[in-house]
Amino acid sequence: MKATKIIIVVLLILCLSSTLLVASEVISESEVTFKREMDSGVIYGIEATQQYLIEEWRARIRDLGNGVVEIYGYTYTNQTANYIDVDVILQRKVNGTWVDIHSQKWYSHYTNKVSGAKSVSVAKGSEYRVRTVHKATTNTIQDTTTAVTGALFIN
């Protein structure tokens, strides 16, 4: 009986210490993902009357701590594109207006996806977000989409 109580206490301590460890490793981030569905006839309330290439696109900003954020973008097409890119723009809120402070483009040829991530140093005490522009082309189709994450306060 005494041994059982000791084992329970030890397990309880281990559970609490692992919970504290996990809580200290939380990473703040904001991500948006959009996806078009083939043959749905409607894309976000607009009738889909023309062909499109870009099927899925994503934007993310992640607080890595110590005044560093990771910016990320992803573009996926429903067929091989002659050219595909994602332009990831880091923005800072200054006097109520979003201002571009850094831009990074990833691109490729003759594939159906491209993505990239980059760590960027930022000033603490400000709000940041990521805006992305996604482009893809074939011989007959040109497609462009955009995404904007929610704001992330870096302290």
**What's the CATH code of the domain at 89?**
2.60.40.10
Tens-place pLDDT, residues 12-36: 444 443 333 333 344 587 878 787 7
Task: Please indicate, yes or no, if residue 112 is contained in any of the structural domains.
Answer: yes
| Bridge partners for 44 per DSSP | none
Q: CA end-to-end span of the chain, whole Å?
A: 50
Task: Please indicate, yes or no, if residue 66 is contained in any of the structural domains.
Answer: yes
Stretches where the chain sits below pLDDT 50 are 9-26, 39-47
Task: Please indicate, yes or no, if residue 65 is contained in any of the structural domains.
Answer: yes
Task: Please indicate, yes or no, if residue 18 is contained in any of the structural domains.
Answer: no
Tens-place pLDDT, residues 129-141: 999 999 999 999 9
Task: Please indicate, yes or no, if residue 10 is contained in any of the structural domains.
Answer: no
Q: How many domains does the chain have?
A: 1
Range of the domain at 60: 27-154
Task: Please indicate, yes or no, if residue 19 is contained in any of the structural domains.
Answer: no
What global pTM score does this model have? 0.75
Among 118, 40, 53, 128, smallest CA distance to 90 is for 128
Q: Report the alpha-carbon distance of residue 20 to residue 130 in Å, rounded.
A: 31
Task: Please indicate, yes or no, if residue 77 is contained in any of the structural domains.
Answer: yes
Task: Please indicate, yes or no, if residue 8 is contained in any of the structural domains.
Answer: no
